[in-house]
Structure 1
Amino acid sequence: MQQRPVPYRTISATIGMVVLAALLLLLIYDIRRVLVWIVVALFFAVALYPVANFLERRYPRAPRSVATLLVFLGVFLVLAALAAVFAVPLAREATDLAGQLPQLIADARAGRGPVGGLLERTNALEWVQQNQARLSEYGRSLATPALGIAKAAATTVAAVVTIFVLAYLMVLEGPKAVDGALGLLGDSRRAERVRAVGHDCAKTVTGYLSGNLLISVICGVLTYVVLKVLGVPFAGLIALFVAIADLVPLVGATLGAVVAVAAGFLHSVTAGIVVLVFFVLYQQLENHLLQPLILSRTVKLNPLTVLLSILVAVELAGILGALLAIPVAGIIQTIARDVWDHRGGRLKPEPTVGEDRRSAEA
């Protein structure tokens, strides 16, 4: 049987699609930083969207722009209050550190104190003295890329401002965008189904963000109490770093624990051992009690799914992937569950939350 030749039109269309796909991938790679900002802003907008809707329903005479502005002003005031609460002790401890730094360096050079004793026992002080010229040259080379540091700082400020503005506009224009997208579906029953699934996805994101923040606050407070009781200096700075690091799943808590344990051993061997035991016990508490108790009420993911999603997301997108892995997995689970129900002929009559399909309105 003789095969018919492939039409030139089909070949041309295939080549064109391949070229367009390559150009699209190249465009995505070039604007990857902006796409990351959009994704982060979208997650913040999803978390704040229900609050703006509540204020709009509570005060129907006020326009949505006022409700959105009040929500973001409230967020700004909360962040400013937290910064003010931490600013005084952090400034005091940073000033103390700056005042003690020359004495700490002198003690380390003389082999005194915890740092000096450690350097003396490991012969690191002798190595530093032998390579002092090389280390000085390396230090001067580190001072040269000041322009790069300034550029990175400016990029960070621009990213924060851009994410804030994008999130504000997403919350403000959210109802119009949602209604316009649902209007393209035509069928009202299908639009209600999509709206219900979107409501479930938004609840997943909001629950994850609030739950993860609560877990980090608990970790930071407990770390501060332990370090303060043991008399470890700069307990506030270390606890704040531990709380921020704990926001990153899988590796954040370990990174914070390493810094806190190192600070404990620098203070005294007893303090280091106590801090190490505390973090070992706290990791078990967080992994087996806090996370299942808090996240299971919102995201409804089993531990194996959480671990696999984090590992895959870290490999694909690094730290940002680790931050977004659990809510994205929850969204995929919500959509897959709805598709399964739809294939079984059971459409959701109302928005629901979680595996037990509790009413979102209740």
Structure 2
Amino acid sequence: MRPVDNRTVARYTMVVIGLVLATVLLLLLAYQTRQVLTWIVIAVFFAVALHPAASWVERRVVRRRRWLATLLVFLLAFAFIGGLIAVFVVPLAREGAQLAGDLPKLITDVRAGRGPVGALAERFHVLDYLQSHAEQLRGYAAGLGAPTLVVLRGAATSVAAVVTIFVLAYLMVLEANKVVDGFLGLFDRRRAERIRRVGHDCAKTVTGYLTGNLLISVVCGLLTYAVLAVLGVPFAGLIALFVGLVDLIPLVGATLGAVVGVVAAFTQSVTAGIVVIVFFVVYQQVENHLLQPLIFARTVKLNPLAVLLAILIGVDLAGILGALLAIPVAGIIQIIARDLRDTHRSRLTADTEYPPVSYVDDPDSSDHALQLPRHPAAGEAAPTR
């Protein structure tokens, strides 16, 4: 038995301790910078989604001027988002001002039991509840001023997050080709082509997810507008737009939009409210169990069961952000796993077709002779083992 070298043991011990400490420090750093890391992850997804458009504009429109192609794509994206905000915010501000002007009359009608809101308040004894809990409600109202600073700070953080994400995504799209070529240059040609192919498939998965999610939201918004317009609910277009936007959030988005739609329908009539409740219950089941799995199965090429499981796990791990990123992450994991499986199978096939060189003992010599695999000639039976 060989003696144990104390210096070797000490050296390996120090290496293990160093790796453990480095891992702990890396985890602590990731925890402390989790907000910035979240912004980076979101920016990566936006960059992956917009990179094909920038490449197309670069090839077909501006002829190898990457900065101009990227600028045009992001200007179009800003114009699209700005248009959505204008369509959503401007009517909301106008109708909010009108509501503030009509508020005294609305309160009078509610107290008198007139109008749809007054009838609902009288039917469900809302006024009696407000009168019996007046002191408690005043306490809640007095406490609303305390978290004002927190709300303002959260709004400022949200604005900073949006600006940072767009800047990061812009720079990622602008420098994508240089970064990818530099990274692939670290590997040999065969492995670089494999990494490029897998990365291209992952990018298609992210783009397919965003396209599929947008398609589902458009379907939800159009159906909501049709139902509200037929029932004569006011501001049907505005409510449908809100429902379509929040429906971008898997699983819970349709529920958030349904609350607003149902409340607006009940202000029109009780019948309209009940019809809208039935519509959203039926539609949510159809979206969660039919539309979403089918569309994502075609765009992301995931099994419908895998889509549902990925969303549930993502929600449990990271809330709304986890729900948004669960499907493309599951698609990327599937692509990498499939590539590893195919590579392993190809290696097994190659080993079967071309057996490795073996050394056998030469009976006439004490040295080892190199024995190459012998393939049978034409018409010759294969040797049996």
| TM class, shorter-length | 0.7 to 0.9
> What is the aligned partner in structure 1 of residue 369 from structure 2?
none
> What is the aligned partner in structure 1 of residue 92 from structure 2?
90
> What is the aligned partner in structure 2 of residue 327 from structure 1?
328
> What is the aligned partner in structure 2 of residue 313 from structure 1?
314
- Find the aligned partners of 1:290 and 1:130 in 2 and give their Cα distance: 46
The structure with the larger Rg is 2
* Residue identity in the other structure for 1:178: V
Name structure 2 gaps, 5 residues minimum.
Answer: 348-385
Give the deviation of 1:305 after TM superposition.
Answer: 0.5
Give the deviation of 1:59 after TM superposition.
Answer: 4.4
CA deviations 1:241-291 (Å, max 9, x no partner) are 211221111221122223322332332121012212222332344345533
CA deviations 1:107-152 (Å, max 9, x no partner) are 3344444444444344442232233233223212202332222211
- Matched ranges for 1:85-164 at <5 A: 85-164=87-166
Which stretch of the first structure deviates more once superposed, 289-298 or 149-158? 289-298
The answer to whether the Cα contact below 8 Å between 1:89 and 1:236 also exists between their aligned partners in 2 is no
The answer to whether the Cα contact below 8 Å between 2:239 and 2:260 also exists between their aligned partners in 1 is yes
Whether 1:39 aligns to 2:37 is: no
Q: Which structure has more RCO (C-alpha within 8 Å, separation ≥ 6)?
A: 1
- Find the aligned partners of 2:61 and 2:54 in 1 and give their Cα distance: 11
- Find the aligned partners of 1:99 and 1:85 in 2 and give their Cα distance: 22
The answer to whether the Cα contact below 8 Å between 2:296 and 2:304 also exists between their aligned partners in 1 is no
* Residue identity in the other structure for 1:336: A
Whether 1:75 aligns to 2:77 is: yes
Give the deviation of 1:157 after TM superposition.
Answer: 0.7
- Matched ranges for 1:6-45 at <5 A: 7-45=9-47
- Find the aligned partners of 1:28 and 1:179 in 2 and give their Cα distance: 27
Name structure 1 gaps, 5 residues minimum.
Answer: 347-362
> What is the aligned partner in structure 2 of residue 357 from structure 1?
none
> What is the aligned partner in structure 2 of residue 353 from structure 1?
none
* Residue identity in the other structure for 1:259: V
* Residue identity in the other structure for 1:175: N
Distance 1:298 1:35, change over 3 A: same
Distance 1:61 1:265, change over 3 A: closer
* Residue identity in the other structure for 1:212: N
Give the deviation of 1:318 after TM superposition.
Answer: 0.8
- Find the aligned partners of 1:221 and 1:90 in 2 and give their Cα distance: 19
> What is the aligned partner in structure 1 of residue 226 from structure 2?
225
Classify the secondary structure of the residue corresponding to 2:251: coil
- Find the aligned partners of 2:214 and 2:64 in 1 and give their Cα distance: 31
Give the deviation of 1:55 after TM superposition.
Answer: 1.7
> What is the aligned partner in structure 2 of residue 65 from structure 1?
67
> What is the aligned partner in structure 2 of residue 238 from structure 1?
239
Give the deviation of 1:67 after TM superposition.
Answer: 0.9
- Find the aligned partners of 2:93 and 2:222 in 1 and give their Cα distance: 18
- Find the aligned partners of 1:137 and 1:110 in 2 and give their Cα distance: 26
Whether 1:303 aligns to 2:304 is: yes
Classify the secondary structure of the residue corresponding to 1:43: helix
* Residue identity in the other structure for 2:13: I
* Residue identity in the other structure for 1:304: L
> What is the aligned partner in structure 2 of residue 256 from structure 1?
257
Q: How many residues align?
A: 345
Give the deviation of 1:345 after TM superposition.
Answer: 1.0
Classify the secondary structure of the residue corresponding to 2:301: coil
* Residue identity in the other structure for 2:320: I
The answer to whether the Cα contact below 8 Å between 1:90 and 1:236 also exists between their aligned partners in 2 is no
Which stretch of the first structure deviates more once superposed, 329-338 or 289-298? 289-298
CA deviations 1:311-358 (Å, max 9, x no partner) are 111111111000001111111111111111111118xxxxxxxxxxxx
Distance 1:260 1:125, change over 3 A: same
- Find the aligned partners of 2:74 and 2:224 in 1 and give their Cα distance: 30
Distance 1:280 1:16, change over 3 A: same
- Find the aligned partners of 2:236 and 2:266 in 1 and give their Cα distance: 13
The answer to whether the Cα contact below 8 Å between 1:313 and 1:321 also exists between their aligned partners in 2 is yes
Distance 1:130 1:283, change over 3 A: closer
> What is the aligned partner in structure 1 of residue 176 from structure 2?
174
CA deviations 1:19-48 (Å, max 9, x no partner) are 222221111111111011001110000001
- Find the aligned partners of 2:290 and 2:310 in 1 and give their Cα distance: 20
Which stretch of the first structure deviates more once superposed, 195-204 or 75-84? 75-84
TM-score by length of structure 2 reads: 0.82
> What is the aligned partner in structure 2 of residue 203 from structure 1?
204
Identity among equivalent positions (%) equals 66
Distance 1:70 1:60, change over 3 A: closer
Classify the secondary structure of the residue corresponding to 1:334: helix
TM-score by length of structure 1 reads: 0.87
The answer to whether the Cα contact below 8 Å between 1:56 and 1:64 also exists between their aligned partners in 2 is yes
- Find the aligned partners of 2:108 and 2:25 in 1 and give their Cα distance: 59
* Residue identity in the other structure for 1:74: L
Distance 1:13 1:274, change over 3 A: same
- Find the aligned partners of 1:62 and 1:196 in 2 and give their Cα distance: 23
Which stretch of the first structure deviates more once superposed, 111-120 or 271-280? 111-120
